[in-house]
Amino acid sequence: MASVNLREEAALMLTRSSIVAELDIHDARIIVDAMRPMAVKAGTVIMTEGQTDDVDYMALVLEGQVRAEGSGVGDGDEVVISVIDAGQLFGEMGLIDGSPRSATCTALTDLKLAVLTRRALRGLVEVQPAVAARLMLSISRALAERLRESNRRLRTLSQISRAMQAELGAVHAVNKRLLAAQARKGG
C-alpha cells in the first residue's frame, strides 16, 4: 500500500470489517501490507458470476460502493445480493477455493480497493503464519454465518412453498368440484 495514512486507514477498516473484525490492528497492518491498491471506475464490472479466470483474490473497499448481484429465477433476471460499502470485503470465497465467482460485482461509484491475492496469502502463511491463520479463521467464520443464514432462508422458502402448494391443491379441488357440478347441470 502506498501512503502511511492510507495504510493505517485500510488497517482500521480491516479491523472493523464484519468478516475479519476479530483481527487486531497489528495483524491488520500486516495483512494490508500484503495487499495491493487498485482504483476502479464507476460502472466497471469487477467480477462476473461464473467467471473462472482471475478468481483467486478478495478486495477490501477503501472508498466507494460495489453492487453484488446473482442470477435470478427467470431468464436475464438479476437479484441484488448486497451493496458493499467502504470497510467491507468481497471475493473471499475465490481467495479460498479459486472456484468460479458466485456473484457479479459492479462498481457503483469510483472505487479504491486493497486486493489480497492467494499468492500474497501464501506469502503471509510462510512469513506470518499466525496472522494468516487468524485471517483464514475469521473468513471461515463469516462464510459459516452466511451459510447458516442461507439455510434459514431456504427453510423459510421451503415452508412458503409447501403452504402455497397446499393452497393450490385446495383451489384445484374446489375448481374440480365446480367443473363437475357445472358438467352435471349442463350435460
Each residue's pLDDT tens digit, 114-167: 999 999 999 999 999 999 998 998 888 888 888 898 899 889 989 999 999 989
The CA distance from 35 to 58, in Å, is: 10
Q: What is the pLDDT of residue 139?
A: 87
184 pLDDT more than 60: yes
Q: What is the pLDDT of residue 1?
A: 46
12 pLDDT more than 70: yes
The 66-71 sheet, strands edge to edge: 45-47, 104-107, 66-71, 78-84
Q: What is the pLDDT of residue 74?
A: 59
What's the whole-model pTM score?
A: 0.75
Stretch 60-69: mean pLDDT: 93
Confidence of residue 4 (pLDDT cuts 50, 70, 90): low
Half-sphere exposure of 124 (CA within 13 A, CB side): 22
What does the DSSP assignment read for 82-122? EEEPTT-EE-HHHHHH-PPPSSEEEESS-EEEEEEEHHHHH
35 pLDDT more than 50: yes
23 pLDDT more than 60: yes
